[in-house]
């Protein structure tokens, strides 16, 4: 055996994970109550006591997705599992799907739908702006046989919040199912599944729900379930088949795959915290802290990427100032202040920094800490700032909203 073989590698005695302040695009901070919930005893996936907890999770998800009769459950896997479950369950090979794209995650939908064998109509609009409904309207005229329209509600790559009412109405007028990525929006800004007539929406536990990564909470309309149950061919993914998963989360409650018990308990606690805070209070908290962060970043002379009326509270991308080393600043935030922020994705790689204030990470003290850290780091990398200006601007905003 060589010295570098895995079996020869030393294993440190105590597991030690540094205490980071997670201000990137996820994972975000986890509430200690959630970590406690994960330390409960192990239990069987059909134990009557566990079934009660599954019912709690379904009910709480109904509240958070704001739906009365959609099936609500948590898929095993991260947000991308929710995306893949939707595309592979709702589309058969040859079905037409229109994907509305104005950022990185829209492109991921195209990749997945193509693998499913669907006829993919990819509508690409400018990154950093909202997707224009007129583009969808034209595409629907050209593709009358469309089965599904898919879009991202909160584009984490560009910090844009997409209005969904017009998109939903257009999809419905053309008899298409409507799928919404709510990975970064659920628990962070308003998402009204019933009111916006959505057929399928999915999220992730690690963004605005205050839990570790590992589950994808989803809501499926009865119309979507009926469509899946009347398919001619079974979904290409067995594991992510939404109807098979629904048969475990709901009657007849049969075994499909082993439920990740500790993660489900974590989600139950995370959702209880969301409901205790209240959705409206939670959305207001995200808006207030984001406003303070933007004021601080602007006081540093930085420009927020999306225009004012399109901004998402959970993620604030700013253009990296000319001549400043992207990686160096992020590395120093991490090593000197324990702060993680996000880098740019896709065409924004090397061009933007993304500050996430999601769920448990949306706190005034984190806003002030990160701005203060930037005020200290930036002058040492050749970008002069007035000491105290950013923190002062953020404090003023916090005092006024
Ligand atoms: C993070 C994210 C995803 C992917 O989720 P994973 O949990 O990383 O699989 C999908 N869509 C959006 C909008 C996201 O922000």
Number of residues that make up the chain: 401
Give the whole-angstrom CA distance, residue 292 versus residue 202: 29
**Model pLDDT for residues 331-360, shown as the tens digit of each residue:** 999 999 999 999 999 999 999 999 999 999
pLDDT over 50 at 94, yes or no = yes
Give the whole-angstrom CA distance, residue 173 versus residue 253: 35
* Sign of the torsion formed by the C-alpha atoms of 329, 335, 338 and 342: positive
pLDDT number for residue 16? 87
For ligand 1, residues with CB inside 6 Å are 26, 78-80, 83, 105, 152, 154, 156, 181, 183-184, 204, 213
Quickly tell me which residue has 């702006």 as its tokens. 129
DSSP state of 219: E
Ligand 1 pocket test, pick from 28, 107, 156, 361 with the greatest ligand atom count within 8 Å of Cβ, gives 156
Nearest CA to ligand 1 atom 6: 79
**Model pLDDT for residues 66-76, shown as the tens digit of each residue:** 999 999 999 99
Cα of 252 vs centre of ligand 1, distance in Å, is: 31
Ligand 1 pocket test, pick from 24, 27, 77, 79 with the greatest ligand atom count within 8 Å of Cβ, gives 79
Cβ–Cβ < 8 Å for 172, 297: no
Cα of 20 vs centre of ligand 1, distance in Å, is: 21
For the chain, what is the radius of gyration of the CA atoms?
Answer: 22
Looking at the CA of residue 156, tell me the nearest atom of ligand 1. 15
**Model pLDDT for residues 240-289, shown as the tens digit of each residue:** 999 999 999 999 999 999 999 999 999 999 999 999 999 999 999 999 99
pLDDT over 60 at 5, yes or no = no
Cα of 224 vs centre of ligand 1, distance in Å, is: 22
Category of 162 on φ-ψ map: left (φ > 0), alpha (ψ -120 to 50) or beta: beta
Give the whole-angstrom CA distance, residue 348 versus residue 139: 27
pLDDT number for residue 1? 43
pLDDT number for residue 4? 52
What would the two tokens of residue 207 be? 């963004």
Give the whole-angstrom CA distance, residue 82 versus residue 85: 5
What would the two tokens of residue 43 be? 């239990």
What would the two tokens of residue 392 be? 């002062």
Nearest CA to ligand 1 atom 15: 156
State mean pLDDT over 42-60: 98
Give the whole-angstrom CA distance, residue 263 versus residue 76: 9
Count of CB atoms situated within 10 Å of the CB of 6: 6
Looking at the CA of residue 206, tell me the nearest atom of ligand 1. 7
What's the gap between Cα 267 and its chain centre?
Answer: 15
**Model pLDDT for residues 162-211, shown as the tens digit of each residue:** 999 999 999 999 999 999 999 999 999 999 999 999 999 999 999 999 99
**Per-residue CA distances from 232 to 57, 92, 93 (Å):** 32, 8, 10
Cβ–Cβ < 8 Å for 78, 84: no
Q: Which of 56-60, 303-307, 397-401 has the lowest mean pLDDT?
A: 397-401
């Amino acid at each position: 055996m060589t010295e570098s073989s895995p079996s020869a590698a030393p294993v440190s005695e105590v597991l030690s994970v540094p205490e980071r302040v997670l201000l990137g695009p996820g994972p975000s901070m986890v509430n200690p109550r959630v970590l406690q919930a994960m330390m409960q005893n192990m239990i069987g996936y059909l134990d009557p006591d566990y079934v009660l907890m599954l019912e709690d999770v379904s009910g709480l998800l109904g509240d958070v997705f704001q739906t009365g009769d959609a099936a609500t459950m948590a898929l095993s896997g991260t947000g991308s599992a929710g995306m893949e479950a939707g595309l592979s369950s709702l589309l058969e090979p040859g079905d037409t799907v229109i994907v509305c794209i104005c950022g990185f995650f829209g492109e991921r939908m195209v990749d997945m739908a193509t693998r499913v064998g669907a006829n993919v109509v990819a509508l690409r609009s400018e990154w950093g702006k909202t997707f224009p409904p007129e583009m969808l309207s034209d595409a629907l005229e050209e593709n009358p046989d469309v089965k599904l329209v898919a879009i991202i509600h909160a584009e984490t790559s560009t910090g844009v919040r997409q209005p969904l009412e017009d998109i939903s109405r257009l999809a419905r007028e053309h008899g298409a199912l409507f799928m919404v990525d709510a990975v970064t929006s659920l628990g962070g800004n308003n998402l009204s599944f019933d009111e916006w007539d959505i057929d399928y929406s999915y999220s992730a536990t690690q963004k605005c729900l205050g839990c570790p990564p590992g589950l994808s909470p989803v809501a499926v309309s009865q119309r979507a379930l009926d469509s899946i149950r009347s398919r001619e061919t079974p979904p290409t993914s067995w594991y992510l088949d939404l109807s098979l998963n629904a048969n475990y989360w709901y009657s007849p409650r049969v075994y499909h795959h082993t439920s990740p018990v500790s993660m489900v308990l974590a989600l139950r606690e995370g959702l209880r915290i969301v409901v205790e805070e209240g959705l409206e209070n939670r959305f207001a908290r995200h808006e207030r802290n984001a406003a303070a962060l933007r004021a601080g970043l602007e006081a540093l002379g930085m420009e927020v990427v999306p225009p004012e009326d399109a901004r998402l509270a959970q993620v604030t991308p700013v253009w990296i100032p000319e001549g400043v080393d992207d990686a160096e600043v992020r590395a120093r935030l991490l090593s000197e202040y324990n702060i993680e922020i996000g880098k740019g994705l896709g065409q924004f790689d090397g061009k933007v920094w993304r500050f996430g204030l999601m769920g448990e990470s949306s706190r005034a003290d984190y806003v002030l800490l990160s701005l203060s850290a930037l005020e200290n780091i930036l002058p040492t990398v050749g970008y002069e700032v007035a000491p105290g200006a950013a923190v002062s601007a953020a404090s003023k905003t916090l005092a006024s909203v």
